[in-house]
Amino acid sequence: MTVRRIPLVAGNWKMNFDHLEATYFVQKLAWLLRDAHFDFKRCEVALFPSFTSLRSVQVLVEADRLRVTYGAQSVSVTTQGAFTGDVSADMIAHLGCSYVIVGHSERRKYHPEDDANIVDQVRAVLAAGMQPILCVGESFEERRQGIELDFAVGQVRDVTRDLSDEETSKLIVAYEPVWAIGTGMVATPQSAQEASCAIREDLRETFGADVADAVRILYGGSVTSKNAAELISQPDVDGFLIGGAALDVDELAKIARLVSKSTQGR
């Protein structure tokens, strides 16, 4: 039986765009996709604005009944209280978010987000009824040592260890080699496939085929419209988490169209 996972093209805006720029971007993206008769059943498109733009994106998506989904870039591990500057999973869910990115390498680097904190974020996101996009991936050092697959698989294991089958099946994993993020150095399609396949096979061993086949595994790291078609042709690559190229609306729409086209034969 062939397994059908709807590919996801996820644009991580990081700390870019205020709410007016975000609104303009979403309007233009919707217009470009509508113009291209884009089929959202073949490819999901999700945007990850900063917290300050989420409400504007929600209003627009709901008012114009857009098919674009959206989420947040991080979340607090606590539900409420004296945590100045934090935003809870429930607050994010009430803004209509479907997803939260968890453990992005920039969060791991610039904030005290260790493995324990990342597990708690995943739990908070799931408890609020959203799906976590868990970012994993090796640095140059692990790749130099030839342990990149074990490293990425280990990062997923660290998070899924205490999750139930049902919780794990709601996870989305983004394999993002740190050396490829924002550098223009993209992983080869073979290497993206190898890592995605290793992660899926490990999930299969621990949780069984239903869970392994349900989890979408994205590739992230310098994805553009020039390399997207080859990367998405890999059987275990179910879409992309995109940084730089997601700031250019024409480029993002082009990548989404390429991904949607690639599913026609799947």
What's the rounded Cα separation, in Å, for the pair 163 and 167?
6
List CB contacts of 98: < 8 A, sequence separation 6 or more. 46, 69, 70, 71, 130, 131
Residues 251/21, Cβ–Cβ less than 8 Å: no
Catalytic annotation, residues = 104, 176
96 annotated to a ligand binding site = no
| From 124, 178, 241, 259, residue interacting with ligand PEP (rule: CB under 6 A) | 241
In the complex, residue closest to ligand PEP by CB: 243
Q: Using the 8-state DSSP alphabet, how is residue 265 labeled?
A: G
The site that binds ligand PEP (CB under 6 A) totals a number of residues, namely 13
Rule CB under 6 A: choose which of 223, 231, 256, 258 binds ligand PEP. 223
CA distance 31 to 228: 22
88 HSE (CA, 13 A, CB side): 11
Single out the residue of 56, 131, 193, 222 in contact with ligand PEP (rule: CB under 6 A): 222
Q: Is 260 in the site for ligand PEP (CB under 6 A)?
A: no
Q: Is 242 a binder of ligand PEP (CB under 6 A)? A: yes
Of positions 138, 176, 194, 238, contacts ligand PEP by CB under 6 A: 176
Of 23-31, 142-150, 215-223, 254-262, the window that binds ligand PEP (rule: CB under 6 A) is 215-223
Q: Is 170 annotated as a binding residue?
A: no
> Which range binds ligand PEP by CB under 6 A, 30-38, 174-182, 191-199, 251-259?
174-182
Q: Establish if 218 lies at the interface with ligand PEP (CB under 6 A).
A: no
- Give the residue among 141, 238, 166 at the shortest CA–CA distance from 197: 238
Q: In angstroms, rounded to a whole number, what is the distance separating the alpha carbons of residues 181 and 206? A: 29
Q: Does 160 bind ligand PEP (CB under 6 A)?
A: no
Closest CA to 189 of 131, 139, 229: 229
- What is d(CA 128, CA 262) in angstroms, rounded to the nearest whole number? 33
Task: Quickly tell me which residue has 């324990």 as its tokens.
Answer: 116
H-state helical runs in the chain: 19-35, 51-63, 89-93, 105-110, 115-127, 140-145, 148-160, 165-169, 189-207, 209-214, 228-232, 249-262
Return the residue of 181, 212, 258, 259 that touches ligand PEP, per CB under 6 A.
181
Map residues 118-157 to x or -, x wherever contact with ligand PEP holds by CB under 6 A.
----------------------------------------
Is 71 annotated in a binding site? The answer is no
CB closer to ligand PEP, 182 vs 235: 182
Residues at the interface with ligand PEP (CB under 6 A): 12, 176, 181-182, 220-223, 241-245
Going by the annotation, the residues of the binding site for substrate are: 12-14, 182, 222, 243-244
